[in-house]
């Protein structure tokens, strides 16, 4: 796959990893700022819901701003707030900085796929989109494990500082190499709620269910590994790296498999459900080395499948379809983190896995119902 050197994927990786940063550092942040793990989970929940609420209106409000200017401005805010978060002395201030960052998230992911396609008209649109979407997948499957490893070795503040630095580097590269001559604003194409088939909105609901299934467990993966699987803390970063490597490989495979997005998303959801069920039913460190790679590969494929599926239903309105997808995806993240946090505080980590499994079964049934609708 030949990708232009000035592809915005590096910025996409930093932007998306920022949303997930607290996940692998949950226990460290909680201990450092003297709050509970459940309350620390609001750093993910609040972020996701702000992104979900603002994705569509902010995309509409910024449609006349040149894409290059908007991309660099949003990346600059993300990098700055990550750096400030690394220095924050209190939990309320950390929440405030996270919410400021979240205001950039919805519009960032609503514009970036269409921006990449318009930046590079000489390569297939699917290829340009796949590389940008790869930033989402890599953030989830590689960015979080890397942040967790750095956090365990040097502290959670160093992790935030590292991604602030990476964001600054991506900002400089974008300023230096992203072409101005091809820059366009969204005012040259339709931006509004997609006027696609009714099944598009059913697809969005299925997206919420599938993403919630994943994040119920994944937001609290550290407590699960510690209390349910009984994996020693010094192996957490390693298992999350294994999770990440499996996801990277799966992301590459998803880009080349000649499968419909619907089929990709269905298979991936089944994989997420199966991996959580394995951790729940076995509860041993031996099976975790099978379950976690399966989970990582499945969620990577799920991300590619879901976004491609939504855009496929509204091909003439890519920004609008993406904003709808971003809202649904982040609503799923917030819902998963909230449900998982409540269950963790009241019933423990094993119950969190049970909730994820139950929601996953509902998501799979929803896939089958939608398949019948579309036939």
What pLDDT, in 10s, does the model give residues 97-108?
999 999 988 888
Q: Share the mean pLDDT of the chain.
A: 80
Over residues 324-361, the pLDDT tens digits come to: 777 888 888 888 888 888 898 888 888 999 998 899 89
Single pTM value for the model? 0.74
Q: What's the pLDDT band for 262 if we cut at 50, 70, 90?
A: confident
Residue tagged 């088939």 (tokens): 197
- Which tokens go with 54? 């603002």
Percent of the chain scored above 70 by pLDDT? 81
Of 78-87, 258-267, 288-297, the range with the highest mean pLDDT is: 78-87
Amino acid 88: pLDDT: 92
pLDDT digit string (tens) for 144-172?
A: 778 888 888 888 999 999 999 999 998 99
More confident residue, 198 or 313: 313
Residue 4 confidence (pLDDT): 45
| Euclidean distance between CA atoms 45 and 48, whole angstroms | 5
Per-residue model confidence as pLDDT tens digits over 125-146: 555 666 666 666 677 667 877 8
What's the Cα-to-Cα distance from 149 to each of 25, 204, 245, 350, rounded to whole Å?
Answer: 9, 34, 14, 24
> In this predicted structure, what is the pLDDT of residue 141?
66
DSSP string for 178-212: S-STT--BGGGS--SS----HHHHHHHHHHHHHHH
């Amino acid at each position: 796959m030949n990708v232009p050197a000035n592809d915005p994927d590096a910025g996409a990786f930093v932007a998306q990893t920022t949303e997930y940063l607290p996940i692998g550092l949950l226990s460290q942040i909680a201990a450092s700022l003297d709050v509970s793990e459940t309350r620390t989970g609001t750093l993910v929940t609040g972020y996701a819901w702000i992104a979900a609420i603002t994705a569509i209106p902010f995309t509409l409000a910024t449609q006349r701003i040149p894409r290059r200017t908007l991309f660099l401005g949003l990346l600059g805010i993300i990098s700055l707030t990550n750096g400030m978060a690394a220095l924050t002395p209190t939990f309320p201030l950390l929440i405030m900085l996270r919410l400021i960052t979240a205001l950039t998230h919805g519009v960032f992911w609503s514009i970036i796929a269409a921006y990449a396609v318009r930046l590079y008209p000489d390569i297939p649109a699917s290829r340009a989109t796949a590389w940008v979407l790869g930033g989402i997948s890599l953030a989830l499957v590689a960015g979080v494990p890397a942040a967790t490893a750095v956090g365990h070795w040097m502290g959670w503040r160093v992790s935030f500082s590292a991604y602030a630095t990476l964001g600054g580097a991506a900002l400089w590269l974008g300023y230096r190499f992203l072409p101005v001559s091809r820059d366009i604003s969204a005012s040259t194409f339709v931006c509004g709620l997609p006027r696609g088939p009714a099944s598009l909105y059913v697809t969005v609901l299925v997206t919420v269910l599938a993403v919630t299934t994943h994040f119920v467990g994944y937001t609290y993966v550290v407590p699960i590994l510690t209390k349910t699987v009984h994996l020693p803390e010094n192996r957490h970063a390693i298992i999350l790296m294994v999770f990440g490597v499996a996801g990277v490989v799966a992301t590459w495979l998803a880009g080349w498999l000649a499968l419909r997005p619907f089929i990709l998303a269905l298979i991936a959801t089944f994989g997420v459900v199966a991996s959580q069920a394995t951790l729940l039913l076995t509860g041993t460190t031996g099976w975790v080395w099978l379950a976690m790679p399966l989970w990582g590969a499945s969620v990577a494929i799920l991300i590619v499948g879901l976004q491609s599926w939504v855009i496929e239903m509204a091909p003439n309105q890519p920004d609008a379809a993406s904003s709808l997808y971003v809202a649904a995806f982040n609503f799923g993240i917030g819902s998963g983190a909230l449900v998982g946090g409540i269950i963790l505080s009241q019933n423990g980590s094993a119950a969190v896995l049970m909730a994820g499994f139950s929601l996953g079964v509902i998501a799979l049934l929803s896939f089958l119902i939608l398949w019948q609708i579309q036939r």
